[in-house]
A = this chain, B = another copy of it.
Amino acid sequence: MTSIALIEAAAQRLAGPARRTPLLSSPFLDEIAGRRVLVKPECLQHTGSFKFRGGWSAVSALDPEVRARGVIAFSSGNHAQGVAAAAKGHGVPSVIIMPSDAPQLKIANTRALGAEVVLYDRANEDRDALGAKLAGERGLTLIKPFDEPQVIAGQGTTGLEIAEQAAEEGVSRADVLVCCGGGGLTSGIALALEAKAPGLRARPVEPEGFDDVARSLAAGLIQRNPRLSGSICDAIITPQPGDITFPIMQRLCGPGLAVSEEEALRAMALAFLRLKIVIEPGGAVALAAALFRPEAVEGDAVIAVASGGNVDAGMFCEALERFGG
């Protein structure tokens, strides 16, 4: 199980390879929210998202002989790049299984980070069977995207940094809003805050219509999303919270929040204008909740994790044209 000891051990392995992202702020955002807003920009992490932390944590935790045979992951997005970069940093092979209709840029980026990309046909091929076959033949270790203790521990290092940086800013009581898919980042941060900054409370934020974690927390048992496509916040859409992440979130997190796609785009435009960072729609939902759901947040300050910035120019400019002033 992931514990604070596992997170601190991951932080030691990540010191150097991972980037310590700063804590950003702007008086203009404070004014919109009606309280201090502190933003943790994980878009500035290697590969453009927090996923590098979990990927590096998991790859570095493997027994060297096992690791040398290589790793495998299923992902068309940020997890793919995080695992590929972590494997490359360790000098071991990685295989990333992606749908053949994934964007060319994501395929090219993952290859450029040193991964062997294996494409499959969503309609006619069984992804899991293909992965199991490759893993068996080559002795590859599967790195799951969130429901894996060492991945959660890596994401939790974000929470260790937030605890230290919030204390430097004089913030000891606040909601920490986290963009939430399967719950790896949210549960990791929640565990870190429990140990290091108990006055800070992690809360998951999701897109409206895909708020499986918020509903699961409210119901007290795991709920599924009715659909998995059709959101611009694709980076954080998962079927349901994880079997490992959910009990952690249930024990430690405050109620979940949900924002509209339009609010995510507005938050992207404000992050451009006021913080000079690039965030993707799925990485903007926590900042959107901090800015546009002030009545649902407690305390004089709020911390929002901007979890990733892998957005294409077209989508980004749509946000700026609609809301960028």
Residues of A in contact with B (beta carbons under 8 Å apart)? 19-22, 24, 27-28, 31, 41, 43-44, 48, 105, 109, 112-113, 269, 272-273, 275-279, 309, 313, 316-317, 320-321, 324-325
Contact = CB atoms under 8 A, between A and B. Distances in A.
A82 to B, nearest CB: 14
A315 to B, nearest CB: 10
A321 B325 contact: no
Contact of A48 (B48, B276, B321): B276
A24 to B, nearest CB: 6
A27 B19 CA distance: 14
A52 B317 CA distance: 28
Contacts of A112: 27-28, 31
Q: What 9 A-B pairs have minimum CB-CB distances, sorted nearest first?
A: A313-B324, A276-B309, A313-B320, A276-B278, A317-B317, A43-B276, A48-B276, A272-B278, A317-B320
Most buried by B among A27, A31, A105, A113: A27
Contacts of A316: 272, 317, 320
Copies of this chain in the oligomer: 2
In terms of DSSP, what is the predominant structure of the interface of chain A?
helix
Nearest to A113: B27
B24 A22 contact: no
A109 to B, nearest CB: 8
Contacts of A275: 44
A317 B321 contact: yes
Nearest to A47: B26
Given A22-B21, A24-B19, A276 B44 contact: yes
Contact of A325 (B21, B43, B313): B313
Given A22-B20, A325-B105, A313 B278 contact: no
Contacts of A321: 313, 317
A166 to B, nearest CB: 14
B313 A272 contact: yes
A313 B274 CA distance: 12
Contacts of A324: 313
Contacts of A31: 112
Contacts of A105: 325
A277 B269 CA distance: 13
A40 to B, nearest CB: 12
Given A31-B112, A313-B321, 9 more contacts: A19-B24, A269-B313, A272-B313, A276-B279, A277-B277, A277-B278, A313-B324, A313-B325, A316-B320
